[in-house]
């Protein structure tokens, strides 16, 4: 089972808004000893959203989907989820209650009585229409809930709302997965070497230490002297220390210039 992230919205795809969900989700997963396995960005196109969801529902992954659960014409996620599952949209009773509370709060702020017969309220109720069998995800920001089906969790596109709703979903349904896998990571900054020349060394480290993955992250500076490669190992702590020792010994033997502190 992997953990995936779907970010939906034409405004992201066009660059009108910069995505903030990815870094937020990576951070909250890391704090719980978890790691994001994949991410997809999708525009507001119903057929594409349905196709993505059919595939991810079949995968059995834990999936967080951000965006498109409102009730305006460009919000398609609720409908597409129902289509992907082959079930109808129905007004969720708990969602209806939360939307009613939100309407009362808004009216109280204006000093008026809530009008539950108004077209605005009827339109707002559509945000509580979820695929049949869905559960609600509480929204501490404005009470308008998201929803979940199985291990798929659907939250608004607003990061201020999405982040606490994703954290709630993780803590409520997946705390048994937290910090199950011990991990360690160590790296150095290599100067004056090409990745190709380091590849045999990287292959030998992974061959000798099967519970370790080696990574190479080139960073290009404005001047050649400002470029370097972050070279490191990550994985099972019992092997990371030994693998990192061998990595440095090999670099020393090759007289490769490296540092253990970030040159930036």
pLDDT of 215 above 90: yes
* pLDDT band (50, 70, 90) for residue 261: low
Kindly indicate the confidence band of residue 264, based on its pLDDT and cuts at 50, 70 and 90.
very low
Question: What mean pLDDT do residues 226-236 have?
Answer: 92
Question: Domain ranges in the chain?
Answer: 3-177, 184-259
Task: Determine how β-strand 184-191 pairs with β-strand 152-155.
Answer: unpaired
Q: How many CB atoms lie within 10 A of CB 152?
A: 23
User: In whole angstroms, what is the distance from residue 36 CA to residue 138 CA?
Assistant: 23
For the CA atoms of 142, 34, 213, 261, what is the dihedral angle to 10 degrees?
70
Closest CA to 209 of 169, 241, 166: 241
Matching residue, tokens 């695929």? 131
Q: Helical H runs in the chain?
A: 10-13, 21-30, 46-59, 77-85, 93-110, 119-125, 159-173, 195-208, 237-253
Closest CA to 128 of 143, 113, 106: 143
Res 262: pLDDT: 56
- Those residues whose C-beta lies under 8 Å from the C-beta of residue 182, and which sit 6 or more positions away, are 236, 237
Q: Residue 263 pLDDT > 60, yes or no?
A: no
Phi first, then psi, for residue 25 (nearest 5°) are -65, -40
CA gyration radius, the chain? 24
Percent of the chain beyond pLDDT 70? 97
Q: Of 110, 174, 97, which Cα lies nearest the Cα of 143?
A: 97
Query: CA 55, 57, 62 angle in degrees (round to 5)?
Result: 115
List the Cα angle 217/219/220 in 5-degree steps: 145
Query: pLDDT per residue over 81-136, tens digit each?
Result: 999 999 999 999 999 999 999 999 999 999 999 999 999 999 999 999 999 999 99
Facing residues of 39 across strands? Answer: 5
What is the mean predicted confidence (pLDDT) over 197-208?
96
Q: Tell whether the model's pLDDT for residue 27 goes beyond 80.
A: yes
What pLDDT digit, counting tens, does each position of 29-81 carry? 999 999 999 999 999 999 999 999 999 999 999 999 999 999 999 999 999 99
Q: Is 184-259 in CATH node 3.30.70.2860?
A: yes
* Res. 174: pLDDT tops 60: yes
The pLDDT of residue 223: 61
Determine the average pLDDT of the residues in 155-173. Answer: 98
CA distance 233 to 10: 38
Same fold, 3-177 and 184-259: no
Instruction: Quote the crossing angle between the two packed helices 46-59 and 77-85, to the nearest 10°.
Output: 50
Nearest to 102 by CA among 82, 77, 120: 120
Q: Which of these CATH numbers, 3.40.50.300, 1.20.1250.20, 3.90.1150.10, 3.40.980.10, describes 3-177? A: 3.40.980.10
Question: How confident is the model at residue 222, as a pLDDT?
Answer: 61
């Amino acid at each position: 089972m992997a953990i995936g992230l779907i970010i939906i919205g034409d405004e992201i795809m066009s660059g009108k808004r910069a995505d903030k969900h990815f870094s937020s989700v990576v951070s909250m997963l890391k704090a719980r000893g978890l790691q994001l396995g994949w991410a997809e960005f999708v525009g507001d196109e119903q057929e594409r959203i349905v196709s993505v969801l059919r595939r991810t529902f079949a995968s059995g992954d834990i999936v967080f989907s951000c965006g498109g659960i409102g009730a305006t014409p460009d919000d398609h996620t609720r409908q597409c989820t129902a289509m992907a599952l082959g079930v109808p949209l129905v007004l969720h009773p708990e969602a209806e209650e939360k939307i009613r509370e939100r309407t009362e709060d808004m009216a109280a702020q204006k000093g008026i009585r809530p009008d539950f017969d108004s077209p605005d309220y009827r339109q707002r109720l559509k945000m509580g229409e979820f695929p049949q069998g869905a559960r609600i995800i509480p929204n501490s920001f404005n009470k308008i809930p998201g929803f979940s089906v199985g291990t798929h969790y659907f939250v608004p596109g607003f990061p201020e709302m999405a982040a606490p709703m994703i954290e709630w979903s993780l803590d409520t349904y997946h705390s048994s997965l937290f910090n199950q896998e011990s991990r360690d990571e160590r790296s150095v900054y290599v100067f004056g070497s090409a990745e190709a020349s380091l590849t045999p060394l990287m292959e030998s480290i992974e061959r000798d230490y099967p519970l370790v993955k080696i990574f190479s992250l080139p960073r290009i500076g404005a001047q050649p002297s400002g470029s370097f490669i972050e070279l490191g190992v990550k994985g099972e702590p019992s092997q990371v220390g030994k693998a990192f020792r061998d990595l440095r010994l090999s670099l020393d033997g090759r007289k490769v210039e490296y540092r253990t502190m970030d040159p930036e």
